[in-house]
Structure 1
Amino acid sequence: MSTAPIKPTAPVDAVIIPHYNDIPRLERCLQALMQNDIAQTEIVVVDNNSPVSLDGVRAAYPKVRFIVESEKGAAVARNRGVAETTAQRLFFIDADCIPAHDWLTVGREISGRADLIGGRVDVFDETPAPRSGSEAFEAVFAFNFRKYIEVQGFSGSGNLLTRRDIFDAIGGFINGVSEDREWTMRAVAHGYSLIYEDRLQVSHPSRQDWPALKAKWCRTTREAYQLNGAGLVPRLRWAIRALMMPASAVVHIPKVLASDKLASPGESARAIATLIRLRCQRMIWMLQQAFGGPI
């Protein structure tokens, strides 16, 4: 008697991971995902045509789908990942993040609570102590997803859970702007709910030095200006915000001094120095933008 072939079960969940040229961190992310319950889950890595070969990673993780998207940008990569799967529940994570061992389990458990759910992002150092100024700054200030969601009304996509019907209804991420902020705010504007869940946890490495931190904030400032608007009134408002940057550094010094994440007075001092330096640099960038110049 012949036996009919067993049809593969369609995935219920999809994990979408944009990647470009960072194989060690991608491997670390995938290794952590393999510690999760990945039953009925499709893991999709969308590579932005990295100059290095991913053959070794493909061989090491046969359960992962690898797709090449030649158009650059994490927004395009995420959109391509969604298009490549039929799963109804969508988990977004970045290639340099490490999901907790129960990330998928918690996501499934809480998925009915809201249309979009952003989670906790802890910061860890990839270098030995003591922390540099950039690492100390990030330990205090980086990735406050609770504030992003509950105060500012958006979530990052390094730890985001949503559904395909929402994605289909409002469209994909947009390249060239702060795509995760814009996308989640667009969803909320369409009436979809957004909440923070502390148990949905991933970790992200801190920026190790000033050039890395500066590059991050230069990109963030460019993207934020795209959402600000280029008319006279928006540019004036942007210039006023720019001039407030040094004062905002002073306002945030007590937060550094009160933080239990810093191990020594030296780390606190380096964090404060970086805070002031960064806010002054952002003031310069923002004034350049307000007066029509590039950064």
Structure 2
Amino acid sequence: MGDFGIQEAIPEIAIIIPHYNDVVRLERCLFALIENDLSDCEVLVVDNGSPQPLTETQAKFPSIRFVIETEKGAAAARNRGVQETRAPRLMFIDADCLPASDWVTVGRKVSDRADLIGGRVEVFDETPPPRSGAEAFEAVFAFDFRHYIEVQGFSGTGNLITRRDVFEDVGPFRGGVSEDRDWSFRATAKGYRLIYEDALRVGHPSRQDWLALRGKWRRIMQEMFGQTGGSLNVRIKWALKGLAMPLSILVHLPKVLTSPKLSGSGDRLRAGGTLVRLRLLRMIWMLRQAIGLEI
């Protein structure tokens, strides 16, 4: 008798990890991930055509599948990950993130509570003390997923659970915009429910210096402005919002001064200085965008 009619079981969860040329952090992510209970999971790393080969990494993690997506951008990599997997549950994490040892277990427990579930992202430093201004700033302000979800209405894709049927209905991530914001807004516009789950935890390294932090925010501002449509009315509102940036310093400075995530006056001084510097730079960028100039 042959094996006709016998079908391979479909896993419960697909874990999708986009990656580009960051092997050290990718391996750190995968070592943490295999400490999780990965029973009934398929794990897929989608490499975005890194110049640094992943041959050695693949050998270290024989149970994890690797594919290459030549179209650039994390959106294309995540879309390829969905296409290449079959599980009805999708868990997204980034290659530079560090999943908690119970990340998958918690994901299983909470996955039926909503259509989209975002979790907690804890910032950690990769360099020894003292913190740089960028690291101190990120410790206070970076990756506040509760605020993103409960106030702004979107979840980042570095710690996100959804279902395959939801993804297929909403459609793929779109490149050239802030793909996590864009996809979340499209999903909730269709009536899908988004919630925050604090027990679903991953870590993310802080930006180590001003250049890295500046680069992050330049990309964010380009993506956010790109989503506005750029009409005259939008540009006027964008300029007014930019002019209000200095006032936001006064609003957020108390958070720096009272944050339990900072230790000592040095941390607070550096975080405060970076807050001022970044908000003033964002004002300049927004005014340039409003009049049609590049940033």
TM interval, short-chain normalised: over 0.9
Give 1:216's aligned amino acid. K
Give 2:262's aligned amino acid. L
Verify: 1:197 aligned to 2:197, yes or no: yes
C-alpha separation in 2, matches of 1:189 and 1:277: 36
Cα displacement (A) at 1:229: 1.9
Verify: 1:101 aligned to 2:84, yes or no: no
Task: Map 1:41-52 to 2 at 5 A.
Answer: 41-52=41-52
Residue 284 of structure 1 aligns to a residue whose secondary structure is: helix
Task: Map 1:42-81 to 2 at 5 A.
Answer: 42-81=42-81
Cα displacement (A) at 1:7: 6.1
Cα displacement (A) at 1:170: 1.0
Give 1:139's aligned amino acid. A
Give 1:197's aligned amino acid. E
Give 1:16's aligned amino acid. I
Cα displacement (A) at 1:65: 0.9
Cα displacement (A) at 1:247: 1.1
C-alpha separation in 1, matches of 2:3 and 2:227: 55
C-alpha separation in 1, matches of 2:74 and 2:249: 30
C-alpha separation in 1, matches of 2:197 and 2:243: 35
Give 1:31's aligned amino acid. F
Task: Map 1:146-225 to 2 at 5 A.
Answer: 146-225=146-225
- The aligned residue for residue 121 of structure 1 is 121
C-alpha separation in 2, matches of 1:193 and 1:226: 25
Gaps spanning 5+ residues in structure 2: where?
none
C-alpha separation in 2, matches of 1:233 and 1:227: 14
Cα displacement (A) at 1:3: 9.8
Residue 227 of structure 2 aligns to a residue whose secondary structure is: helix
Task: Map 1:23-34 to 2 at 5 A.
Answer: 23-34=23-34
Give 2:217's aligned amino acid. W
- The aligned residue for residue 11 of structure 1 is 11
C-alpha separation in 2, matches of 1:154 and 1:223: 14
Cα displacement (A) at 1:267: 0.6
C-alpha separation in 1, matches of 2:31 and 2:125: 18
Give 1:258's aligned amino acid. T
With normalisation by structure 1, the TM-score equals 0.98
C-alpha separation in 1, matches of 2:36 and 2:280: 43
C-alpha separation in 1, matches of 2:2 and 2:265: 70
Give 1:130's aligned amino acid. P
C-alpha separation in 2, matches of 1:214 and 1:56: 33
- The aligned residue for residue 236 of structure 1 is 236
The number of residues matched between the two structures is 294
Cα displacement (A) at 1:8: 4.5
C-alpha separation in 2, matches of 1:81 and 1:260: 38
Cα displacement (A) at 1:23: 0.2
C-alpha separation in 1, matches of 2:294 and 2:42: 41
Cα displacement (A) at 1:12: 1.2
Give 1:135's aligned amino acid. E
Gaps spanning 5+ residues in structure 1: where?
none
Cα displacement (A) at 1:9: 3.0
C-alpha separation in 2, matches of 1:232 and 1:4: 65
- The aligned residue for residue 36 of structure 1 is 36
Q: Deviations over 1:123-167 (max 9, x none)?
A: 000000111000000000000000000011111000000000000
Residue 267 of structure 2 aligns to a residue whose secondary structure is: helix
C-alpha separation in 2, matches of 1:105 and 1:24: 25
- RMSD after superposition: 1.3
C-alpha separation in 1, matches of 2:235 and 2:141: 26
